Structure 1
Amino acid sequence: MAVAPPPPHAHDPDMPSPAAQARRVPVLLPMPFAGAFDYKAPADMRLRAGDIVSVPLGNRRQTGVVWDSQSALPPDLAQPAPNKTVADNRLRAVAERLDLPPLNAELRHFVDWVAAYTLSPPGMVLAMTLRLHMKGSAPAPATGWMVQSPAPTTLRMTPARQSVLALMADGTTRTTTDIASAAGVSAGVVKGLADAGALRPVLLEPARPFAQPDPLHHPPTLEGAQEDAAAALRQSVREKKFSVTLLEGVTGSGKTEIYLEAIAACLEQGQQALVLLPEIALSAQWMERFTRRFGVRPAVWHSEIGQKARRQTWLGAADGSVTVVVGARSALFLPFCNPGLIIVDEEHESLFKQEEGVIYNARDMAVVRGRLAGFPVVVVSATPSLETLANAQAGRYQRLVLPTRHGGASLPQTHLLDMRDAPPERGMFLSPKLVKDIAATLGREEQAMLFLNRRGYAPLTLCRTCGHRMECPHCTAWLVEHRNRQVLSCHYCDHTEPMPPVCPSCKTEHSLTAIGPGIERITEEARQLFPDARILVMSSDTLGGPAATAEAVAKIARREVDLIIGTQIVAKGWHFPHLTLVGIVDADLGLGGADLRAGERTIQLLHQVAGRAGRASAPGRVVLQSYTPEHPVMQALLSGDFDQFMEQEAEQRRPGFWPPYGRLAALIISADTPQAADEAAARFGRTAPYGEGIQVLGPAPAPLALLRGRHRRRLLLRTWRNIAVQPILHRWLGLVQLDRHMRVEVDIDPVSFL
């Protein structure tokens, strides 16, 4: 992604906007409208761009933000503005300015930029920072009490009142609850003293729910390449200007400790830092590392925290009392008042791409936010994406490389197990050679891991009699058997049904059989093979959230687990010092299909999983079960030459101007019936843009041609890198009028091709 830097923002946030001076103010609502609505500012209400207000919309009130009347976007991103102006005498008045921190110019510009780049309604982008946690006004300050001097002459004394006054004689302001608890009296005694005039009320400073991290609390000892990388990151932060740095290092090289030093430099300057993780709910060890380094926990932002915590974090980011936030991709839209650094950890992860609603890549938008506000961004990975590597090679990103593991630990040895030469026993999925390796590892009282990136018991259930396959009625997907729950489930929608006793097609009893392994089936096999082993399963089905994950990680660290069996969750940067063997059950999984990034994703995932082995003094081994050991991905994993594989990937994409050497945008058309979807897709096909450096592929059925009951067709716009796709898409979308039951979704820079 490369878009020309935007010009400075049109308005000074500390000055009334031209719209406010004219008493006509644009208000952007967190709803899917094409732009802001004009309202009338009451004579006694001085409004500025960024103020959060309540306005009438139909017969209800809606929270919105006073927006800018002029766009500061570059021409290739500017969206066509609605050509409707409401007469002054028809304008409805702003109802109330809420007692909340205004959105600063940088964040408003960022909202406009993301909306324009992704072709989303700007209100839907605003909703990601405003909607759920901004109900009501800021909390009122609490009231405390101090002794009134002199005391009222008519005050009647009791032992309880004497106890309170003796406590309060030190001049400290206390709340009713604190006084009652410390003096051993009821709250009624405190209220009686206040009513008698012996205590006077004092407004307390609002309690700060977030402790401040100390950059000097426990600095690490870094040497060689680690210290050089940390020094470079500290310098980039201290320069207080936009830059992007790729911090690349083998698994176990200490990347987290190094970028924590960049956070320390940011804190020393009195600025705020944001760390984006692909799965914040699974970051138990990361939180421990942060707390050990800075003495306190950071603020956390993800979907599982409660409404109160979300509100406190939002307000803390806005007023500066929150200095470090670690969060999922939505944390990118917090209203930081003084941002100085963004870290994107595991930048290659596809989980940074939001696939519904506003479709955006948090990694790329983090770079945009850093550029708009003028602060550095650090992207971190052991297996960088090809887009990031291309930016580093072109000089757009700085690149810091850590070639060795921290503390003298060696990289694990990798072995390819050709399953054609060493097949498993009938009905089993683990090769006898891998079983032998696991047994030897457990015999040495070391830990082993089995990895299979497939939830459930089996990915397919079919009838042995007639061949009927159990499919989701709402999606083009097989139903996955979850034997522990005795159900069949679709992993693309919420459909779940009990396992039927007979085939739905031929009605034969007991004819349904599981085809292929899921993690539950591998666990069943492992329990048969290693009956005395203490087995722990790590998947989204078994780990209910951060607390359960933290406990699982703690059990592994305490050596209460012998064999770990996991899905992709186990690839998320865990440090298991006693884990010395990783067995990858199906290394070929993910290489099939026509996904542009299949090879890149597979090597990234398997490399990360392999990196869990041998992270301490004991050497590690990785065994990959494969039926295609000659595949370039398998050979690259065997040689450990990730860079050479990515260079080969680049050479394959460059001639056809596939990303990162060209631009892609997907149009996904959906309708209630296949005929309607075909008709709508055909209209887009007939009006498709053309020209030098522009190509449209499709229309064609999407790989998931039916998803949640809607029939889907895809068209793919591909252009040279120097051609912006947004103006082309604006013209194209304007040529086709769709019926109400048809929808079109635009995915700029698609990552998934489902």
Structure 2
Amino acid sequence: MSRARILILNAALGPLDYRVPAGMTVEPGSIVVAPLGPRQLLGVAWEAERMPSDAEVGDNRLRNLLAVADAPPIRAPLRRLVEWTADYYLAAPASVLRMTLASTSALEGARTAIEYRATGVVPPRLTPQREQALERIADRQGLIRELATIADVSDAVIRGLVKSGAIEAVEVDIDSAYPVPDPDHHQPILSDDQRAAADVLVAGVRDHAFKPTLLDGVTGSGKTEVYFEAVAQAIRDGRQTIVLLPEIALTEPFLKRFHDRFGVEPVAWHSGLRSTQRRRAWRAIASGEALVTVGARSALFLPYANLGLIVVDEAHETSFKQEDGVHYHARDVAVMRGLFEECPVILASATPAIETRQQVATGRYAELKLPGRFGVAEMPTIEPIDLIQEPPERGRWLAPRLVKALEANLEKREQSLLFLNRRGYAPLTLCRTCGHRFQCPNCTAWMVEHRLTRRLACHHCGHIEPTPRVCPECQGEDTLVACGPGVERIADEVTALFPTAKTAVVTSDTIWSPAKAAEFVGRMEAGDIDIVVGTQLVTKGYHFPNLTLVGVVDADLGLDGGDLRAAERTFQQIRQVSGRAGRGAKPGHVFIQTHSPKAQVMQALITGDADAFYEAETEARRDAGAPPFGRYAAIIVSSEDQGCANDVARLVGRSAPEVDGMHVYGPAPAPLAMLRGRHRYRLLVHAKRALDVQDVIRDWLGKLDWPSKARVTVDVDPYSFL
């Protein structure tokens, strides 16, 4: 090639043509360094016919490419996925490609780094801090900062130990090979249902063909052990596997289960990795050395050399939908990657989404069912507590019957879980004298009190401020009152009721890394926690045999707001958290506190009749032409200037095309009318399933001009309506 079309990592520009200098080899997929003005940008060579350029430039005006990266080319199936994702979600191809080239240092070739380890020499001046450092570091190795964190000492202490000879520097290859998982390390004993499902999945991996399968099993049925058999087959075939998890906090427990089954940990990919760890993982994935990768949704776009299996665990989880940048849904993109890679895709869930169930109903997806729990474990009994008939005591949030159950569980030395999907102490703080309410200065949202950290925090933009002693409006002292409960307030109530019980609050504020999740799991398994008070973070993935009681503090919370999927989400969340109870030999009990025990979703949870609930919800969606029987797309207009945002939103609304089978609602101020300092307006496009709504929106918005200070974002298949 003397000329190459390059998709550079600049979303504002389309593909650009460059000259390939003599002696440089560039093929479709080659990762290159290209000049753009005075800058040097990464890009990927693309087929010209698949990526049209806005302006053809003569050969004499082309600039030379500067270099080809020391990395394998991006394979054709992944290039097709980038194209599809950009087209379907109306995103710039460069924005999607950026997720593929997620570690720029991985493109720099082989590298070494200096790490440190103990030598066994005892320094002559052994202070208490030095002694602590040597004891905790033991045989560990890492950077100075990492060793200081492990030892809970300052960097200066570690540097002093280096000078004394107690710790030495070693040069390490930061791209050292990962250990290979052993598919026969530990052969699990499977039930008949598990074995039958595993055999089907293993056959699918052997066939090396695209086949999406829903693995639908009740909580505690052993879905992970079943799809591990398919992973083992992919390892035997020398092919790579992706396992997607919805939460970073689930990664550490999963790594432990994987290690027990395969003898080593898989390659991890998530936002908590250091840059050197990301580099090593990316290069191992691109070379085909990393046989199993477990990670968050972004792991889906990495350049796997020989992909043989994709697993989406907890596939119903809404956190698989990306709400910033490219608004993709990892569950759906995973299926498309399986199509392009010609490999099977497993969607594992105890509460599959209606969209997935409909794909099964139409025959596009296969289905495997695990109707019972593994071994002697039985599904828990579920009882409603009508908060109108059995209200909590004044100033409290736990009904008497739930309190008695907690007390009985403590006497039996069994563990309990209280679930409330609301972080912090209270969702609203106001002044009882003048009525002032604390609102985020950047968002139309109330500031949430976090009493553990003595802060008011916005859960939308991250703004924090100290909890004031006096009302900023009337200067009244002791007039501020917390309204409503969060998990911290429930934990305070538990402490007041059971002062000797060991209580833990589990939210994204307390479990923010895999290491913190591992610490929580260790304490639960050691019996160091009696009562867990947690948010949705504890509804999935965890297996604690001694946890026998679950109390849902406010089952009605998720039904607020008029969301399309409110009832489905509530059912999934409470069904999942109920599944934490009775996963071992001891029976489990669940209490659901609600003001509406006769509501359809509550009756489905109490009776366990999930099919009737899903059938009714599906018919309601069908009647409304809502997904999966219709199409939604949200158009969000935002600007720091409210007038500008309003004008552009009205322009978009006035310009809406008249298309048969499509309706446009709005513009209207978004429920979150201001977010991160930007005023927001929303339009909702509702279309028939058969309509190619992306082409309509692309043509519609492509004809409009708006000021640069306004931003117009399209969210295809939206999950958030805020």
Fold shared by both chains (TM-score > 0.5)? yes
The match for 1:36 is: 15
Q: Which of 690, 693, 697 is matched with 1:722 structurally?
A: 690
Distance 1:523 1:215 in 2: 43
Alignment partner, residue 189 of structure 1: none
Aligned to 1:288: 256
Q: Could you list the per-position Cα deviations for residues 342-400 of structure 1 after superposition, in whole angstroms to 9, with x for gaps in the alignment?
A: 00000010111111111100110000000011111000100000100000111010011
Determine if contact 1:133/1:310 at 8 Å carries over to the other structure. Answer: no
Cα pair 1:441 1:581 within 8 Å, conserved: yes
Q: Aligned to 1:700, what secondary structure does the other structure show?
A: strand
Q: Deviations over 1:146-197 (max 9, x none)?
A: xxxxxxxxxxxxxxxxxxxxxxxxxxxxxxxxxxxxxxxxxxxxxxxxxxxx
SS state at 1:461 partner: strand
Shift of 1:578: 0.3
Counterpart amino acid of 1:250? V
- The one of 613, 629, 634 aligned to 2:581: 613
The corresponding residue for 2:238 is 270
Partner residue, 2:109: 138
Q: SS where residue 673 of structure 2 aligns?
A: strand
What is the CA deviation profile of residues 206-242 of structure 1, one whole-angstrom value per residue up to 9, with x for unaligned ones? Answer: 9743111111111211122111111111111111111
1:117 corresponds to 2:85 = no
**Identity value in percent:** 50
Q: Shift in Å at residue 539 of structure 1?
A: 1.1
Secondary structure of 1:526 counterpart: helix
- Report the RMSD for the aligned CA atoms in angstroms: 1.6
Residue of 361, 365, 371 corresponding to 1:403 = 371
Instruction: Spell out the pairing of 1:12-91 with structure 2 (5 A cutoff).
Output: 20=1, 23-71=2-50, 81-91=52-62
Return the offset for 1:136: 4.8
Deviations 1:651-693 (A, max 9, x none): 1110221001011111001122322222111111111122321
The match for 1:104 is: 75
Give the whole-Å Cα distance in 2 for the aligned partners of 1:393 and 1:690.
33
Shift of 1:82: 4.9
Corresponding residue number in structure 2 for 1:658: 626
Which residue in 1 is equivalent to 2:397? Answer: 429
Name the amino acid aligned to 1:116.
Answer: D
How many residue pairs align between the two structures? 664
Match of 1:388 in 2: 356
- CA distance in 2 between partners of 1:87 and 1:682 (Å): 42
d(CA) in 1 for partners of 2:197 and 2:376?
Answer: 18
- Of residues 53-62 and 406-415 in structure 1, the stretch that sits farther from structure 2 once superposed is 53-62
Whether the 8 Å contact between 2:174 and 2:276 is mirrored in structure 1 is no
Post-superposition CA distance 1:615-650 (Å, at most 9, x none): 111110000111111211111110111221111111
User: Residues 55 and 95 of structure 1 are in contact (CA less than 8 Å); yes or no, is this contact kept in structure 2?
Assistant: yes
SS of residue matched to 1:408: coil
Give the distance between the partners of 1:47 and 1:128, measured in 2 at CA: 22
For residues 563 and 135 of structure 1, the distance between their equivalents in structure 2, rounded to whole angstroms, comes to 44
Amino acid at match of 1:52: I
What are structure 1's unaligned runs of at least 5 residues? 1-19, 73-80, 143-203
- Give the corresponding residue for 2:141: none
Distance in 2 between the 1:56 and 1:71 partners?
22
1:332 to 290, 297, 300: 300
Question: Matched residues in 2 for 1:490 and 1:631: separation?
Answer: 32
Distance 1:313 1:85 in 2: 38
CA distance 1:135–1:233, shift in 2 (3 Å): closer
Q: Which residue identity lines up with residue 76 of structure 2 in the other structure?
A: A
Given the alignment, which residue of 36, 41, 64 partners 1:93? 64
Residue 731 of structure 1: aligned partner: 699
The partner residue of 1:321 within 289, 293, 303 is 289
Distance 1:256 1:494 in 2: 35
1:705 Cα offset (Å): 0.8
CA-CA distance at 1:140 after TM superposition: 5.7
Cα distance in 1 between the residues matched to 2:590 and 2:228: 30
Aligned mates of 2:177, 2:430 — CA distance in 1: 55
- State the alpha-carbon separation in 2 of the partners of residues 113 and 350 from structure 1: 21
- Indicate if the aligned counterparts of 1:34 and 1:82 stay in contact, CA closer than 8 A: no
C-alpha contact 1:111 1:125 (8 A) present in aligned 2: yes
Aligned partners of 2:431, 2:22: CA distance in 1, in Å?
A: 74
Aligned equivalent of 1:210, options 178, 193, 207: 178
CA–CA separation in structure 2 for the residues paired with 1:348 and 1:66 = 36
Amino acid at match of 1:621: H
Report if the CA contact (8 A) 2:16-2:53 is conserved.
no
Q: Secondary structure at the match of 2:191?
A: coil
Partner of 2:279: 311
* Equivalent position SS for 1:751: coil
The residue aligned with 1:11 is none
Alignment of 1:565-580 (within 5 A): 565-580=533-548
Instruction: Work out the CA distance in 2 between the residues paired with 1:133 and 1:256.
Output: 33
**CA spacing shift, 1:456–1:205, aligned 2, 3 Å:** closer
TM-score by length of 1: 0.86
Q: Which of 210, 223, 229 lines up with 2:197 in the alignment? A: 229
Equivalents in 1 of 2:577, 2:302: separation in Å? 32
Question: Helix, strand or coil for the counterpart of 2:108?
Answer: coil
Residue 640 of structure 2: aligned partner: 672
Relative distance call for 1:205 and 1:427 in structure 2 (3 A) is closer
TM-score, length-normalised on structure 2? 0.90
The amino acid of 1:49's aligned partner reads P
Q: Secondary structure at the match of 1:513?
A: strand
Give the conservation status (yes or no) of the 8 Å contact 2:111–2:173: no
Q: Distance in 2 between matches of 1:435 and 1:109?
A: 56
The superposition leaves residues 10-65 of structure 1 with CA deviations (integer Å, 9 ceiling, x where unpaired) of xxxxxxxxxx2xx1111111221342111111122121111111111111211211
Report the AA paired with residue 402 of structure 2. Answer: L
2: CA distance, partners of 1:223 / 1:281: 29
Counterpart of 1:50 in structure 2: which amino acid?
G
Residue in structure 2 matched with residue 645 of structure 1 by the alignment: 613
Whether the aligned pair in 2 keeps the contact of 1:687 and 1:735 (CA below 8 Å) is no
Aligned residues of 2:632 and 2:716 also touching (Cα < 8 A): yes
Separation in structure 2 between the aligned mates of residue 133 and residue 498 of structure 1, nearest angstrom: 38
- Offset, 1:455: 0.6
Moved more, 103-112 or 615-624: 103-112
Cα distance in 1 between the residues matched to 2:368 and 2:626: 26
Take 1:247 and 1:480, find their aligned partners in 2: how far apart are those partners?
A: 38
Corresponding residue for residue 406 of structure 2: 438
Q: 1:133·1:307 contact (CA, 8 Å) conserved in 2? A: no
Equivalent residue number for residue 630 of structure 1: 598
Alpha-carbon distance in structure 1 between the residues aligned to 2:443 and 2:184: 54
Q: Distance in 2 between matches of 1:243 and 1:235?
A: 11
SS in 2 for 1:703: strand
2-side partners of 1:301 and 1:135: how far apart? Answer: 14
Query: Aligned-pair distance for 1:245?
Result: 0.1
Q: 1:243 aligns with which of 190, 211, 218?
A: 211
Larger radius of gyration, structure 1 or 2? 1
Task: Mark the CA change 1:613 to 1:644 in structure 2 (over 3 Å): closer, same or farther.
Answer: same
